[in-house]
């Protein structure tokens, strides 16, 4: 029996210890789980809960250089030896548990795609941390070690017969890593909507891809505090245009909830019910892909708001109406 959605997690993701003063801290996942549990009467027959296997090194190497994978492994081993967290970059922290968390996160993204493609669930939500979209093929940055969405897209192409992928990235930050991976690749359309002039300073609208990838990157920027209605109108048009261009076999979402009003690392004004609408618009655009949508968690730094946003996304994936405010 196919259920509308799968909630995919990996227990090791929760163990990635960045310290409580770090925005991407260990309180994020428990907040999401608590929010989802409160939805269980509605979700019970509509959402599989699945523990994902970790990604293998070969999965990482479809996106990342061997040197990068090794650097992450060595940094985590050193943190484990010292018994404390270490900075891999200025803002990217690892603890002794971070290797297992990172391959758990990439594995959850892959498994969400696997379930959606195999028809066990129509859609999937992978609850991942550390996040992924800033990780480039050769560099960890912006709290990200491995690029979970990119690893899942490449897995789908290598292992599941998928040719064309659409990635919609609504995190308030530009996913520079994802753009880097697919910039010259016409088989993956990367659409990012983000705050202008914000970290990491990439994602200009004139960047539209290179060589065979020309036209399959699109960056849309918004000023601080832009009207929700305007954002949503632009989003709807951009998702439809991207889907018309790539005609995807699979749609992935880099779902950051730092676009919600009040996020300490944000500056946009979206509200949790907007996440329901935005998810439905992605599902509509995925129509030709038999509705194959896998959502992968990125940012979102007010745990309760993050949980509200995830709940709205999962309700949309489960074909339930939006939760009341």
Q: Please report, as ranges, the residues that interact with Zn ion according to CB under 5 A.
A: 171, 173, 256, 258, 299
In the complex, the smallest distance separating the C-beta of residue 90 from Zn ion, rounded to whole angstroms, is 16
Check if 134 is active-site. Answer: yes
Closer to Zn ion by CB, 11 or 225: give it: 225
Position closest to Zn ion via CB = 299
- 150: closest CA among 68, 94, 240? 68
In the complex, the smallest distance separating the C-beta of residue 118 from Zn ion, rounded to whole angstroms, is 30
SS3 264: coil
Q: Two tokens at 204? A: 């200009």
In the complex, the smallest distance separating the C-beta of residue 198 from Zn ion, rounded to whole angstroms, is 9
Closer to Zn ion by CB, 91 or 171: give it: 171
Contacts of 8 (CB under 8 A, 6+ apart): 50, 51, 52, 108, 111, 112, 115, 124, 125, 126, 127
φ and ψ at residue 125, rounded to 5 degrees: -125, 120
* Buried/exposed code over 201-211 (b: 16+ C-beta within 10 A; e: otherwise): ebbeeebebee
Give dist(CA 255, CA 238) in Å, integer. Answer: 16
Give dist(CA 110, CA 251) in Å, integer. Answer: 13
Closer to Zn ion by CB, 79 or 222: give it: 222
In the complex, the smallest distance separating the C-beta of residue 184 from Zn ion, rounded to whole angstroms, is 24
Closer to Zn ion by CB, 100 or 258: give it: 258
Q: Which of 133, 134, 174, 194 is catalytic?
A: 134
- Pair 122, 291: CB distance under 8 Å: yes
Indicate which residues carry an active-site annotation: 134
């Amino acid at each position: 029996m196919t259920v509308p959605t799968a909630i995919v997690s990996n227990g090791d993701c929760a163990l990635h210890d960045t310290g409580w003063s770090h925005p991407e801290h260990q309180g994020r996942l428990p907040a999401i789980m608590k929010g989802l549990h409160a939805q269980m009467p509605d979700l019970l027959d509509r959402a599989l809960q699945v523990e994902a296997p970790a990604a293998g090194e070969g999965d990482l190497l479809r996106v990342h250089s061997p040197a990068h994978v090794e650097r992450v492994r060595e940094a985590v081993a050193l943190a484990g030896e010292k018994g404390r967290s270490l900075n891999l970059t200025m803002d990217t922290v690892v603890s002794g548990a971070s290797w297992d968390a990172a391959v758990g996160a990439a594995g959850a993204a892959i498994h969400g795609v696997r379930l959606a493609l195999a028809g066990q669930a129509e859609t999937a939500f992978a609850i991942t941390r550390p996040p992924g979209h800033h990780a480039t093929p050769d560099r960890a940055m912006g709290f990200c070690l491995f690029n979970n969405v990119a690893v899942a897209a490449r897995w789908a192409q290598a292992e599941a017969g998928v040719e064309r992928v659409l990635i919609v990235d609504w995190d308030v930050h530009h996913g520079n890593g994802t753009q880097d991976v697919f910039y010259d690749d016409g088989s993956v359309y990367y659409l990012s909507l983000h705050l202008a002039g914000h970290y990491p300073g990439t994602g200009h609208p004139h960047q539209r891809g290179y060589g065979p990838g020309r036209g399959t990157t699109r960056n849309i920027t918004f000023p601080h505090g832009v009207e929700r209605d305007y954002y949503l109108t632009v989003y709807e048009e951009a998702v439809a245009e991207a889907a018309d261009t790539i005609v995807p076999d699979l749609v992935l979402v880099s779902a950051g909830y730092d676009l919600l009003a009040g996020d300490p690392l944000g500056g946009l004004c979206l509200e949790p019910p907007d996440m329901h609408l935005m998810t439905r618009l992605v599902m509509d655009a995925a129509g030709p892909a038999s509705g194959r949508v896998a959502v992968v968690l990125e940012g979102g730094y007010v745990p309760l708001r993050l949980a509200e946003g995830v709940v709205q996304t999962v309700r949309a994936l489960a074909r339930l109406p939006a939760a009341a405010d």
